[in-house]
Amino acid sequence: MRHFTSIKQIGDLQKAMDLAFEVKKNPFADQHLGRNRTLLLIFFNNSLRTRLSTQKAALNLGMNVIVLDVNQGAWKLETERGVVMDGDKSEHLLEAIPVMGSYCDIIGVRSFARFESKKDDYEEVILNQFIKYSGRPVFSMEAATRHPLQTFADMITIEENKKCAKPKIVMSWAPHPKSLPQSVPNSFAEGINLTDYEFVITHPHGYELAPEFVGNARIEYNQDKALEGADFVYAKNWSAYSDPNYGKVINTDRSWTITTEKMALTNNAFFMHCLPVRRNMIVSDEVIESPQSLVIPEAANRVVSAQTVLREILRSL
Ligand code: AN0
Ligand code: CP
């Protein structure tokens, strides 16, 4: 593996799971792999889990880690080519990227959708420039359209907790006051489509995701119906994808919040969310604190996910 920007690049899923469980059981077995290797993590957006779990994964592999918050202390970066740089941007991404590449062996990038141009977001313009100009293996720490390290952690968590071979997974939209990217739901859908699980996506009208991510999932606009018999409820807010509302909040209907009553419709389902989560918007206090809530082990598996991927990239250097 050189770059990791989509869960599809994980290769054979069973093999990836086996590797992940090996990493989880024996996290310090590959310290030699990262010796004298430097990982650079670049954040254009905030993070708690990705920042900490990816650093922890790299330390477990014996790597050195440097972290840059682009918006805190670095020069403001121009991303558009051809611009006369007479504004507030002091440096162009086209110099910054190869410079950053010269200081490390592997680069992780977090760069969310900007909602300025759907085309630029869905073409992953920023992430692809890192791939093109850094000269280093690049992995996504959530880019404009996908969050593959989250998806891999989610899939590991499902594998650890499923009680039957083909569980019913329901990904449900839930309300949120701000415009959030589609990357987590896109990526989760992309991952679950690699399995033979039963997969239902439920959301209000207007929140349809891009068809290339929805894949074989069944869309059910009635959330109660979708939840019937679910083994896992994967809650997430996302903003509208369809034009003319791309990137907009068009609904904050709190009847979509995952509550105890909603969970009662399921097959005693586990509750999942990538975090950060807004309580009593996305999910009630009772559900997130219930024994069926997997949010903490799910977040803990982010180390396993990142370490498994980093290990494969290190092996390819
Ligand atoms: C981000 C999102 O929805 O993509 C990050 C989630 C991992 N969430 C927020 O910005 C609140
Ligand atoms: N789930 C996740 O990626 O969390 P952070 O945004 O805190 O990294």
User: pLDDT for 50-75, tens place per residue?
Assistant: 999 999 999 999 999 999 999 998 99
The reply to whether 36 falls in a domain is: yes
SS3 labels along 114-175:
CCCCHHHHHCCHHHHHHHHHCCCCEEECCCCCCCHHHHHHHHHHHHHHCCCCCCEEEEEECC
Residues 168 and 154 in one domain: yes
Ligand 2 midpoint to CA 83 (Å): 32
Q: Answer yes or no: do 209 and 137 share one domain.
A: no
CB of 156 within 6 A of ligand 2: the answer is no
308 lines ligand 2 (CB under 6 A): no
Are 309 and 247 part of one and the same domain?
A: no
- The alpha carbon of 297 and the centre of ligand 2 are apart by a number of angstroms equal to 14
Identify whether residues 99 and 188 lie together within a single domain.
no
Query: Both 72 and 171 in a single domain?
Result: no
Distance of CA 233 to the CA centre of its chain: 17
Q: What ligand 2 atom has the least distance to the C-alpha of 274? A: 1
User: Strand pairing partners for 169?
Assistant: 199, 232
Residue 109's identity, in one-letter code, is V
End-to-end CA separation in angstroms for the chain: 9
Give the count of domains, the chain.
Answer: 2
Residue 193 lies in a domain: yes
The domain of 233 spans: 150-298
Query: How remote is the CA of residue 274 from the centroid of ligand 2, in Å?
Result: 7
37 within a domain of the structure (yes/no) = yes
Neighbours of 71 (CB within 10 A): 12
Is 160 within a domain? yes
221 and 190 share a domain? yes
Angle, helices 49-60/148-161, rounded to nearest 10 degrees? 80
Helix axes 148-161 and 13-25, enclosed angle (nearest 10): 80
pTM over 0.75: yes
Beta carbons within 10 angstroms of residue 164's beta carbon: 9
Same domain, 19 and 85: yes
| Rounded Cα distance, 115 and 11, in Å | 31
| Same domain? 160 vs 291 | yes
Residues of the chain with confidence (pLDDT) below 70: none
User: Is 260 part of a structural domain of the chain?
Assistant: yes
How many CB atoms lie under 10 A from the CB of residue 179?
Answer: 15
Please indicate, yes or no, whether residues 25 and 157 belong to a single structural domain of this protein: no
How buried is residue 97: exposed, middle or buried, by Cβ count under 10 Å (0-12/13-18/19+)?
buried
The answer to whether residues 62 and 90 belong to one domain is: yes
Tell me how far apart the alpha carbons of residues 33 and 213 are, in angstroms, rounded to a whole number.
34
Dihedral of CA atoms 63, 155, 181, 10 in degrees, nearest 10, equals 60
Ligand 1 pocket mutation pick from 110, 152, 178, 183 by most atoms within 8 angstroms of CB: 183
Which pLDDT score, from 0 to 100, does residue 73 have?
87
To test the ligand 2 pocket, which listed residue (41, 49, 69) has its Cβ within 8 A of the most ligand atoms?
49
- Residue 96 shares a structural domain with residue 171: no
* 1 in a structural domain: no
| Domain-embedded: residue 2 | no
Q: What is the CATH number of the domain that holds 22?
A: 3.40.50.1370
Establish if 12 belongs to a structural domain: yes
Q: Are residues 294 and 168 in the same domain?
A: yes
